[in-house]
Amino acid sequence: MPQKTVYLETFGCQMNELDSELVAGSLGALGYTFTRDAKDADIVLYNTCSVRERAEQKVWSRLGDMRTAKHDKPDLVVGVLGCMAERDGKDLMARMPVVDIMCGPAELDKLPELLDNAVRTKSSLASDDPDKARRRSAKQIALQGSASRRSSTLAAAGDSLESLDLGRMVSPIDADGRRSAYVRITRGCNKFCTYCVVPHTRGAEIHRPPQHIIDEIKALADTGIIEITLLGQTVNHYRYEHDSAVTLDGVLQPQKGRTYKGSHHRDAFAGANTTTFADLLYRIHEEVPAIQRLRFVTSYPRDFGNDVLEVIRDCPRICRYIHVPAQTGSNRMLKMMNRGYTIEEYNEFIDRTREYLDQPEIGRPLMLSGDIIVGFPTETDQDHELTKQMLERSRYKNCFIFKYSPRPGTVAYDKIPDDIPDAIKRIRNNELLAMQADISDSIAREQVGREFDVFVEGLSRREHKKRGTDVKPGSGMVGITINGAASKAPVAVLDETPVGETVQLSGRTDGDLIVFFDVPSDGPTKPIDYIGQMVRAKITAADRLNLNGELI
Ligand code: 5AD
Ligand code: SF4
């Protein structure tokens, strides 16, 4: 088959970014090439997100563009991957016949086959009757459907999950100097928060075997990766039961003889054959010392034992950064959202975490971040007031604030009318944003004078703008971080830096604070050589969450 060119655009979360990277790796190995411009592509793939309405609207508008594109290129193949495909199923194809491929997030290992079939179908149609090719979908579909939660198919789902992740093409650091990678530890979610589509699109929670995770991280470290972010929808819920036949009388035995440095606490339910989240963090830290920064997202406020906090405290290369969404400060709302904890329990967790991990005196202040939904059905001013109190108390370094949008397929969509007017949602959203801006600002100012290890990611935005090399984050290319501070545009331009000028670089502290600093372009270390390295910097000024520092 002639070599085909793929355009792959990613929407939504980090899990999707990782999926796209894995898909791109597997297609690349089969001989497909990639383009940064959809106009040059034979195959256009959108890896979609259904968590909020906005992300979906963007995809609908892209699909509209593709209808026009097919006029010029009848054999163009268009694929919708990810959560929108899974949730809308065949309805999406009926509404948009421009779509040739639908592939759910748990079925991505099947994409090469679907693609091959679609390309063949389209080119034979196009050579017979281009008009028919324009109108007809190649109808290649792989969706998990409602089968995902049947126990008989859980094992199969686990296998296909493994084949996608195990097939990761680990290539040496690419031209953009990226030395940071995502590694999935858990897929799916069993929590069923009433507003959330994830349990319906990504299916039941499945945990990867710890040895596979460690092997993957070792392979990444061997190529020069020094920062790993572990991914899971409820990442701290990770728990792997090893061959249960080894347990006595089929009963999990309490853990004996295995303690972490200085550990007194141990999850009482963890048998010798269980790898808990704390165990996994500890193993990665001990077995892959080349990883200088280990992070994890997203944490669930429940299931956070002291065993995890102790491991983070005692392992210097595990970051003191925890993204732990509360969603609301009102117990009534938490109940309607089916979150499974009270605000008192949430606050207790925040206090306990600070007690264990907040150590500014050794340059390691704890940084927390959160998510909040405003305007969940029936939310009163009083509920909103409680959320404000929660936000004030939590002192997140940053917080994502979303207006509630009903998602088809969820319990809230079916059973709870979306009764808060958009104008009220907007007011509440803005109020919380303003409060968070002040909190972020004051946290940033507290850092002035402190010294940090900074992991250098690349040119700062300002530097990119100055050079006209700015690439909008979220422009969707593989390798460009969606919410990242530093764009991952090629750094080759640095070679053209005129002598005598300074270059502004950007990096992050272990608490995920962004630090900008200037380096001379003609110093002993070239600017390009800082990227991907750890440097020590003293913070000299702060503005919102942007810290300015100087190398020490
Ligand atoms: N409406 C608004 N925000 C939502 N989120 C998830 N579902 C919805 C929804 N239906 C938010 C939650 C979650 C984040 C990933 O997206 O805050 O933590
Ligand atoms: Fe959605 Fe709740 Fe699961 Fe998070 S924990 S993915 S909000 S259902």
Task: Examine the pLDDT at 173 and tell me if it is beyond 70.
Answer: no
Pocket around ligand 1: residues whose beta carbon is below 6 Å from it?
51-52, 195-196, 325, 327, 371, 373, 402, 404-405, 407
Range of the domain at 258: 151-319
Listed range (182-191, 248-257, 379-388) with the worst mean pLDDT: 248-257
Residues 23-61: tens digit of each pLDDT:
998 998 899 999 988 999 999 999 999 998 888 999 999
Please tell me the predicted confidence (pLDDT) of residue 151: 58
User: Does residue 480 belong to any structural domain of this protein?
Assistant: no
d(Cα 126, Cα 119) in Å, to the nearest integer?
A: 10
Token pair 């383009």 in the structure block, residue:
35
Q: End of a domain among 146, 169, 198?
A: 146
- The pLDDT-based confidence of 129 (bands split at 50, 70, 90) is confident
Residue 511's nearest CA partner among 358, 338, 289, 347 is 358
**Number of domains making up the chain:** 4
The more confident residue out of 487 and 140 is 140
For the segment 87-114, the average pLDDT, to the nearest whole number, is 92
Task: Examine the pLDDT at 480 and tell me if it is beyond 60.
Answer: no
- For residues 440 and 462, state if they share a domain: no
- For residues 205 and 124, state if they share a domain: no
Task: Examine the pLDDT at 92 and tell me if it is beyond 70.
Answer: yes
| Ligand 2 centroid to residue 338 C-alpha, Å | 10
Please tell me the predicted confidence (pLDDT) of residue 262: 44
Using CA atoms, how far residue 530 sits from 316, 362, 374, 394, in Å, is 22, 24, 41, 35
CATH number at residue 13: 3.40.50.12160
3-state secondary structure at position 503: strand
For the beta sheet containing 140-142, the strands, ordered from the edge strand earlier in sequence to the opposite edge, are 33-34, 5-10, 43-48, 77-82, 101-103, 140-142
CATH number at residue 242: 3.30.750.210
In 305-384, where do the E strands start and end?
321-323, 367-374
Please tell me the predicted confidence (pLDDT) of residue 489: 43
d(Cα 105, Cα 359) in Å, to the nearest integer?
A: 39
- For residues 50 and 102, state if they share a domain: yes
Given a contact cutoff of 8 angstroms between Cβ atoms, the answer to whether 284 and 214 are in contact is yes
Residues 505-552: tens digit of each pLDDT:
999 999 999 999 999 988 888 888 898 889 999 999 997 768 999 999
User: Does residue 479 belong to any structural domain of this protein?
Assistant: no
Residues 262-293: tens digit of each pLDDT:
444 445 455 678 999 999 999 999 999 999 99
pTM for the full predicted model? 0.90
Given a contact cutoff of 8 angstroms between Cβ atoms, the answer to whether 184 and 165 are in contact is yes
| Ligand 2 centroid to residue 368 C-alpha, Å | 18
Q: What are the tokens at 245?
A: 């036949």
d(Cα 339, Cα 329) in Å, to the nearest integer?
A: 12
3-state secondary structure at position 497: coil
User: Does residue 381 belong to any structural domain of this protein?
Assistant: yes
- For residues 11 and 114, state if they share a domain: yes
Please tell me the predicted confidence (pLDDT) of residue 462: 84
- For residues 170 and 315, state if they share a domain: yes
User: Does residue 274 belong to any structural domain of this protein?
Assistant: yes
Q: What are the tokens at 436?
A: 């968070």
Provide the H-helix boundaries in 129-237. 130-135, 151-166, 198-201, 210-222
Cis peptide leading into 5, omega within 30 of 0? no
Please tell me the predicted confidence (pLDDT) of residue 269: 53
Residues 331-349: tens digit of each pLDDT:
999 999 999 999 999 999 9
- The pLDDT-based confidence of 11 (bands split at 50, 70, 90) is very high
Please tell me the predicted confidence (pLDDT) of residue 487: 35
- For residues 299 and 411, state if they share a domain: no
Using the atom order of ligand 1, give the atom closest to the CA of residue 412.
10
Q: End of a domain among 146, 170, 197?
A: 146
- For residues 310 and 164, state if they share a domain: yes
Average pLDDT, the chain: 86
| Ligand 1 centroid to residue 339 C-alpha, Å | 12
- For residues 381 and 304, state if they share a domain: no
For the segment 425-434, the average pLDDT, to the nearest whole number, is 98
- For residues 372 and 496, state if they share a domain: no
Please tell me the predicted confidence (pLDDT) of residue 255: 41
The more confident residue out of 439 and 473 is 439
Nearest CA owner, ligand 1 atom 2: 404
| Ligand 1 centroid to residue 373 C-alpha, Å | 6
**Is residue 192 in contact with ligand 2, taking CB distance under 6 Å?**
yes
For the segment 429-445, the average pLDDT, to the nearest whole number, is 96
For the segment 174-197, the average pLDDT, to the nearest whole number, is 86
| Ligand 2 centroid to residue 458 C-alpha, Å | 32
- For residues 194 and 315, state if they share a domain: yes
